Structure 1
C-alpha cells in the first residue's frame, strides 16, 4: 500500500480521532474508557510537541489510514535519549505493513534526534502488538499487572524497549 507521512496538523483531526476512538471502543489497545471528542486532538498534538508526529495518508484514496508519533518518555533531561513510540492504524488497513513503515520512519527520526531507546506501552491484552514489537527487536522490559480496568475487567501494561 502506498502511503505518505504528513506532519500531523489540524486538518487530520477528524480522521485521526475516528481511528483512535475505534480502538477506545473496541478493546484495551487505547486506554481511555470512553470515546473522546475532537477537542482531545490538541492533547495528542501537545504530547508529541518537539517530536515527530505523522498522519499516514493513502496515496490511492487520499484518506488518513493511521497516525504515529514519538513523545518524551519523561520530561526530565536525564531521559532525553529515550522516547515513547505510538501508532494506531485504521482497522481496515491493519496487516498491510503500515505499522512497520511507521516504526521505521519514527526510528529513523529518533536516531537523528539523538534518541537511543524507544519504549512502547502496550495493553497486556494486545497480543498482536506485543508480537509485532518482538518481531522488530523490542524486548519486554517489564509489566504492570492488572492496573487498568476497562469493560469491567482488569488488564496490565507491558513495557517494551528497543535500543536503536
Structure 2
C-alpha cells in the first residue's frame, strides 16, 4: 500500500496522518521511541498470523496515536478494541479523535499493571524495555482466558521473558516484505483436557524453547549437514551426537535455544564468550544453524532476536560473528541485520580442498 493510501486510511478512521517516528517522554518508565506499524504489516498479521475471531477483545499495548486501531476500524468488525497508552497527552488526543467509535476505548495506564481481564488478542510493537516486557509476560499469564489468549509481538526485540518461560510457546512469522515478529501463546500443557480429548495440535507452528539434553541427536544432525555440505561450519568431518554436550558446556549459561516445529528441532542458536578475560565479558559470539528445508522463512532473524535479548540480560552489549569468506549468504544476513564488517583473516582455513578466510562482523546492542 502506497504512502498516499496510508494517509487516506489514517485520515478516514483516525482523523490524523500518522507514520513518523516519535520520541518518548517516558524513557524513565521503560518506554522506547517508536513509530506506527505499516499497514501492510497489519494486513499480514490480522489475515495470516492472528486472524480475528468473532469473540476476540483486541488490546493494543502502547497504542500511541492509534494506527493499529485505525486499521481494525477499517475492517468493519464489531469487536471491542482497547488501546493502552502510557503518555497522558497522547492518550487524551487519541481518545478524543476515536470517540465516535463506540467499540473503541482508550485507557491511559501502565499496561504491565492494567491489562484488561477480558482481553484475548494483544498487539505489541516493542515499545518497551526488557524489564517492562518481563512484567507484561507475568501479567498476561495471570489472565483468565488462557485458552483464547494470543499475543502478536511485532519487531520483537525482547523475546527473552517468553523464550525462557516454558509456559509460553513462540511462533515466528515473516511478512512478504521481510518484516519479522512472533505470535506468542500459552503452552499446551496449561490446558486441561476432558476425557477422550487429545492434546491440541497446530501443524506448522514454530516454537522457540531452551535446549535440553534430549535435543542432542537433532542438533548434531543439523550441524553435520553444514559440516558435509557447506562452509557454514568449519569442521570437515561429522561430529558424534555426544558433541552436543560440549556445545552446552561452552555456551553462555542458558543461552542455547532450539526452534521446534511439530515436535521436530529445525534450528538452534547460542552465545559463546568472545575470550576468557574478565574485561571482555561484555562481548559474546553468536552461532545459529537452521535445517536446510526451513531456511528463508525468517527463522534466522527470530533466533538472532532471541540471542540479542539473552545477551542483554547477561550484560553483553557487543555481539561478534565470524563467518567463512566462502559463506557469502551468512555475511549478507549479518549485514542486513545490523552487523558491520570489521575485517578478514585471509587464507586461514582449508576445507574440501579450498582455501578460505574468516570474516569478522560486529553488532552493538
Aligned equivalent of 1:103, options 295, 304, 318: 304
1:158 matched to 2:359? yes
Q: How many residues matched?
A: 162
Aligned equivalent of 2:334, options 127, 133, 136: 133
- 1:46 is paired with a residue whose SS is helix
Q: Please give the alpha-carbon distance, in whole angstroms, between the structure 1 residues aligned to 2:254 and 2:361.
A: 20
- 1:144 is paired with a residue whose SS is strand
Q: Please give the alpha-carbon distance, in whole angstroms, between the structure 2 residues aligned to 1:162 and 1:123.
A: 18
Aligned 8 A contact 1:51 1:71 in 2:
no
1:80 matched to 2:258? no
Q: Please give the alpha-carbon distance, in whole angstroms, between the structure 1 residues aligned to 2:335 and 2:295.
A: 17
CA distances 1:3-54 after superposition (whole Å, capped 9, x unpaired): 2222111110011000000000001110011011111111111111425011
1:118 matched to 2:323? no
- Assess, with a 3 A threshold, how the Cα gap between structure 1 residues 49 and 111 changes in structure 2: closer, same or farther: closer
Aligned 8 A contact 2:252 2:270 in 1:
no
Report deviation, 1:55: 1.2
Which structure's residues are more often strand, by fraction?
1
Report deviation, 1:76: 1.0
| TM-score (ref. length: structure 2) | 0.44
CA distances 1:72-117 after superposition (whole Å, capped 9, x unpaired): 0111111000000000000000000000000111101111211110
Structure 2 gaps, min length 5: 1-172, 174-204
1:30 matched to 2:229? no
The aligned residue for residue 146 of structure 1 is 347
Greater relative CO, 1 or 2 (CA 8 Å, sep 6+): 1
- Aligned Cα root-mean-square deviation (Å): 1.0
- 2:242 is paired with a residue whose SS is helix
- 1:5 is paired with a residue whose SS is strand
> Bigger radius of gyration, 1 or 2?
2
| TM-score (ref. length: structure 1) | 0.95
Q: Please give the alpha-carbon distance, in whole angstroms, between the structure 1 residues aligned to 2:290 and 2:298.
A: 10
The aligned residue for residue 291 of structure 2 is 90
Q: Please give the alpha-carbon distance, in whole angstroms, between the structure 1 residues aligned to 2:228 and 2:244.
A: 17
The aligned residue for residue 53 of structure 1 is 256
CA distances 1:97-143 after superposition (whole Å, capped 9, x unpaired): 00000011110111121111000011111111100100111011121
Aligned 8 A contact 1:51 1:70 in 2:
no
- 2:231 is paired with a residue whose SS is coil
